[in-house]
Structure 1
């Protein structure tokens, strides 16, 4: 058995988690996931200021506290904190170790950086970062080469678990089921406390004041148990694990560089308090192409929020819009208004009597967005609706980023492991691949026998979790019981989803049934526009989309309530 813990789900996660995981109980490997689509843009801007940057600096601070502890306990560390500069982070770790008088062997993985090939993507001058999503084998080679710490750039999040597992159990590229099991376990771990009750739909059922971080006990056949250190907060249940399995996935084929894991084969079993067994995972050959994340600056954005208080909210909003339309000359390339009716009638406080009218603008020219918001909006201060004020004074505008995905042949990417002694090992692309096509939908379960219904929120009988994939949103919904699944599978169609979430009415919506998880998983194409960095939506990463859905009312069978 290999015991792997996680201490970071994003750049900015709980700093103390590294020490907590190292001192809370036995571990063989400690991982940390620091990279997301937005993080790569942040790191790219760091690198523009200083070519020696481009990595997650907080990891180095965590290691400064915990390096001796990890070495003393024999815990290997595998992180993607290298970001855009894994080689420099590896050097910085060596310098830190020398300063502390600790001997430690550091390996790193390179080859994901495709920025020198920007012309291939049709953006020769505009890209800030272009990174292929590498797999697990570079990590495995570093560990086999004696590394106690491995830092990578852009690898798939699950590779942080699959790499150590492959090295420990001696797996090869043909061990697809075992690799798929490790990928599924890695996906559960990658977002940290989201697997242990963080951001969980039924959070009131557990003490999630300070949830612990997850651990996976992996076995040679790829089966595993998800757990956490004893005495830590939160909970590990089949539902907390289901919620994370559905997060930011689409169809039942979950593709990666090393294996395509079939999510429709995942079997979850409660194996005791805070222990969930995962087994039955089937793996298929990976696709021949690697995903590449492209990050660029899209232009300039600015926004201002008008506070509308008391009576005539709609008329006040209309007046401001008319006044600004006349004043915006030249008009920004994109102008978006949203009115949030946060006001209440006969309110006891001014704040609860107020609504928020948000104006967001975008343009290639910073002066245009600065004039639209910083000048035109402010000039209305004594010449608009009664009670005029803003939530904050606007600034001159800020640059916004755009994330796009491209694909390149895996054979055209130089995935390389740099061992602790400086030797390099080229990682070959898979010999056997399989084009990624959607899996067939499984048959629907038997429908629930009709009976009396009550109009109540969906969230009384179903959980949900949602997130972003570039400009698309993912929304997974699961039923709490078998009868609930029989109702949910027949009721929550793509058509009904569009009715319940009117923002999605004009979008392509795909639905995937996952019977073993009692879940339906939706992909909402284009909901997030150009992605989180472009800030095109009130909830730009669709984090609360699932909670909005759970708050919508449906006619739900009373037998489920």
Structure 2
């Protein structure tokens, strides 16, 4: 999403095409990097890695660091291959990312607008580490990348440092997961950590950034600088490990990682070792994200207080739909949602303040026509003095004004159709020298059917765990959730072998559907896997985020809050496990 938004600004001439913080960081550190001979691989080049690399080369010359070699990686931009608009894209449409899973129902609004003149905003393949490794072997000190996969700079650094071969799949797979663990920065050192409530809150005000130390065999230790905030323990690492997975196989352009035997063990203060990852040749395809102008979005937030809230929302929805029907504006709305349960929040019984008694409704709409969404605003205005008792809204209604949004199509692209290159910059003038084509992986292996274990049968019923007590699931379970485009993934884990026996028996696919409640739809598909060594169950909910990211209609469009929603559910937990738990 960030790349697509930058692409619009870059095309409009209001953005230089790279990430400003990447340039700022290099400016601040370039002399120390040269003095200590620290090599840097960064994906902050975004849409214009060559431009940033040339700027860095000129900065090195200006500071008398002509020996510093700067290079950049290209080959991710697919617009020259796919064309400039939906018309050209539809002529040779790449397969959808989830098209290899016959159980998944692809979104009904797969490519959004019917108008074939809709321009593509960006189209980028996720590159691996081959160009990075080649650049480092050729002497590069700073390598600027565009849309390489988030873990690729880490893989490339370890691959180069340990002189691995491109067929050392177990080692490459270990480096892939190592990169996955630190790619979200403080997410592994205390950010977005569901267990934060068990510690002093001051610990998490400013979590330090993580470091990964990768061994020659691909195993790693996750750590951070002494004296920085946050923490790194088994729980923070497990949470990040379970984040944004697509089941038990993790894919990269250079390697396929099997996660089933992962081990996560504390080896010191703020030091956690991760091992047990197995590798195999990568698939012949890599992921690509294609963004296009999806039309317009609008949302209206309306408040209701206290007595009769449910009837108030029913009246409001009926009034608004009637006005839209009379004007026929509803026919031009591709999406009109009054959200699940027609409101956000629940009024507190016998409230202590008016805010405790107030909830809001989120009306969300999409259209290819800006005028149609203005009709929604007009309908809202026309019922403004016919409303339910106590009707009020926020002071700022700017969100009701239609705004353009970018829609995403996640695709699969053949690796052999790409041209991945590394190019050095002339140290005298920053100009790009001749590009080196780094070729392709030596071998591919097709992606097998994804593992799905709907339930685990241990030869015992849940009743065999003894008396139970109703508690919130989060009292004994930690979790992390996030998005993979249209899909949501969530992983849950416990701390003891006995609790694990109960969790894997209790948390079946059918139980997960039950826990999701009204958020479940039969249009979705659920996959379930287990990671026995870390006492974790992981799910992927296919389709729940619609078109994903900026095209999702959900309030939690990136699925980050889903884990804590499920953890807040009251379930029956065996007493022996509840009082024997660390939580």
Could you tell me the TM-score, scaled by structure 2's length?
A: 0.86
* CA distance in 2 between partners of 1:279 and 1:234 (Å): 23
Counterpart pick for 1:433 among 444, 449, 452:
444
Aligned with residue 227 of structure 1, among 215, 223, 226 = 223
Q: Which runs of 4+ in 1 moved over 4 A?
A: 98-102, 122-125, 439-449
2:53 touches 2:425 (CA, 8 Å); kept in 1? no
**1:479 counterpart residue number:** 494
Q: Does 1:491 align with 2:506?
A: yes
| Equivalent position to 2:371, from 367, 372, 384 | 367
Deviation at 1:101, TM superposition (A): 4.8
Given that 2:487 and 2:545 are in contact with CA atoms closer than 8 Å, whether structure 1 keeps it comes out as yes
- 1:195 aligned residue: 188
Deviates more, 1:276-285 or 1:202-211: 202-211
Distance (whole Å) between structure 2 residues aligned to residue 80 and residue 370 of structure 1: 40
**Counterparts of residues 140-179 of structure 1 (less than 5 Å):** 140-179=133-172
1:307 aligns with 2:308: no
Distance in 2 between residues matched to 1:371 and 1:41, nearest whole Å: 29
What secondary structure is seen at the aligned counterpart in 2 of 1:464?
Answer: strand
Conserved in 2, the CA contact under 8 Å of 1:107 and 1:417?
Answer: yes
Shift in Å, 1:424: 2.0
SS at match of 2:566: helix
| Aligned partner (choices 530, 541, 544) of residue 527 of structure 1 | 544
**Do the aligned residues in 1 keep the contact of 2:452 with 2:528 (CA within 8 Å)?**
no
Candidates 390, 395, 399, aligned match of 2:393: 390
- Is 1:145–1:419's contact at 8 Å kept on the other side of the alignment? no
Cα gap change, 1:300 to 1:417, in 2 (>3 Å): same
The one of 75, 100, 111 aligned to 1:111: 75
1:555 maps to which of 556, 563, 572: 572
Shift of 1:458: 0.9
CA distance, structure 2, for counterparts of residue 356 and residue 52 of structure 1? 37
Change (3 A) 1:445 1:228: farther
- Aligned partners of 1:89 and 1:58: how far apart in 2? 11
What's the CA shift for 1:524? 0.3
Q: Secondary structure at the match of 1:40?
A: helix
Cα displacement string for residues 280-323 of structure 1 (whole angstroms, at most 9, x for unaligned residues): 22111110111111111211000110111121111211221122
Measure the CA separation in 1 of the matches of 2:13 and 2:405.
Answer: 20
> Structure 1 residues 124 and 377, CA, compared in 2 at 3 Å: closer, same or farther?
closer
Give, in whole Å, the separation in 2 of the partners of 1:78 and 1:131.
19
Any conservation in 2 of the 1:106–1:420 contact (CA below 8 Å)?
Answer: yes
2:258 is equivalent to residue 262 of structure 1:
yes
* Matched position secondary structure for 1:193: helix
Contact 1:446–1:486, Cα closer than 8 Å, also in 2: no
Task: State the match for 2:520 in structure 1.
Answer: 504
410, 427, 438: which one pairs with 1:405?
Answer: 410
State the Cα distance separating 1:495 from its structure 2 match.
Answer: 0.8
Alignment of 1:39-438 (within 5 A): 39-50=2-13, 53-103=16-66, 104-118=68-82, 119=89, 120-121=92-93, 125-206=118-199, 207-328=203-324, 329=327, 330-331=329-330, 332-338=333-339, 339-373=343-377, 375-391=378-394, 392-394=396-398, 395-421=400-426, 422-438=433-449
SS at match of 1:335: strand
SS of residue paired to 1:512: strand
Q: Which runs of 5+ in 1 are unaligned?
A: 1-37
Which residue among 480, 497, 500 is the counterpart of 1:465? 480
Distance verdict in 2 for CA 1:50–1:270, change over 3 Å: same
Q: Is the 8 A contact 1:367 1:396 kept in 2?
A: no
CA distance in 1, matches of 2:3, 2:528: 29
1:404-453 CA deviation, whole Å, 9 max, x = no partner? 21112111100111134523221211121110113656876675742111
Q: What is the CA–CA distance in structure 1 between the aligned matches of 2:513 and 2:18, rounded to whole Å?
A: 40
Q: Is the 8 A contact 2:262 2:531 kept in 1?
A: no
Residue aligned with 1:201, SS: coil
- How many residue pairs were aligned? 523
RMSD, aligned CA: 1.9
Moved more, 492-501 or 431-440: 431-440
Query: 3-state DSSP class of the match of 1:250?
Result: coil
TM-score w.r.t. length of structure 1? 0.89
CA 1:420/1:445 → structure 2, altered by over 3 Å: closer, same or farther?
A: farther
Instruction: State the secondary structure of the residue aligned to 1:233.
Output: coil
Distance 2:118 2:70 in 1: 34
Contact 1:499 1:505 survives alignment (8 Å): no
Distance in 1 separating the partners of 2:416 and 2:217: 28
**2: CA distance between counterparts of 1:440 and 1:184?**
19
| Stretches of structure 2 lacking an aligned partner (at least 5 in a row) | 83-88, 95-115, 427-432, 579-583
